[in-house]
A and B are shown apart, each in its own frame.
Chain A
Amino acid sequence: DGGITQSPKYLFRKEGQNVTLSCEQNLNHDAMYWYRQDPGQGLRLIYYSQIVNDFQKGDIAEGYSVSREKKESFPLTVTSAQKNPTAFYLCASSQGAAGANVLTFGAGSRLTVL
């Protein structure tokens, strides 16, 4: 079955450490996205990529970095510069910008900074 796989599901990190969250999709979708979810808040866009080797900052990109070396992979690195990294992170994909209406989401990764 096609879908989006995020790993790890749960991650604990000490302050000052960088961590990388994995996102892999086998839907052959062109565009991929990273969202952050905090309790009581909506989904806020961190980064998105519409094509391999290209990506754009979303609304809250500071303290995060991404890469898009392969169509099916869009890893997110939460750097030590991110002041409040504890959150639920969601990866999504869509069939290109024109199809950005319908996002398919992964199951999410919960990051806790100790």
Chain B
Amino acid sequence: GQQLNQSPQSMFIQEGEDVSMNCTSSSIFNTWLWYKQDPGEGPVLLIALYKAGELTSNGRLTAQFGITRKDSFLNISASIPSDVGIYFCAGRSGTASKLTFGTGTRLQVTL
């Protein structure tokens, strides 16, 4: 099965810094989603994107649906310790009944 490529694989940042991560695919998607997974828990939906070029914010998080429909970006501003976790992108193409998940970006925040 296809998996999306996420980068970077991991990040170590200081509290207060901004964070950027992205997800790329060889296929066109018509939906992009971003999830966050806390240690030992299931992922939780952060942002959903449904249109090419769409830019959506959720608090300190901003995500964009790439114009080519083959990529998406997630930015976190002014990081705080509770931002620690694994961030997954996920995409859905056409009428597919299942999502394809990225490989994840592990974020560590130091004080």
Contact = CB atoms under 8 A, between A and B. Distances in A.
Q: Answer yes or no: are A and B bound together in one complex.
A: yes
Interface of A: 4, 6, 31, 33, 35, 40-45, 48, 50, 58-60, 90, 92, 97, 100-108, 110
Given A58-B98, A105-B42, A108-B40, A41 B48 contact: no
A45 B98 contact: yes
A4 B31 CA distance: 24
A92 B43 CA distance: 10
Interface in B51-67: none
Interface of B: 1, 3-4, 6, 9, 31, 33, 40-45, 48, 50, 88, 90, 92, 96-99, 101-104
8 contacts: A4-B42, A42-B88, A43-B101, A58-B98, A90-B42, A101-B31, A103-B45, A105-B42
A102 B1 contact: no
Nearest to B92: A101
B99 A103 contact: yes
Nearest to B1: A59
Contacts of A101: 31, 33, 48, 50, 92, 99
Given A42-B3, A101-B33, A105-B42, 9 more contacts: A33-B98, A44-B3, A44-B101, A59-B1, A102-B48, A104-B45, A105-B44, A108-B42, A110-B40
Nearest to B91: A101
A94 B50 CA distance: 17
A22 B101 CA distance: 23
A48 B48 contact: no
A91 to B, nearest CB: 8
A81 B97 CA distance: 27
A80 B9 CA distance: 32
A90 B101 CA distance: 13
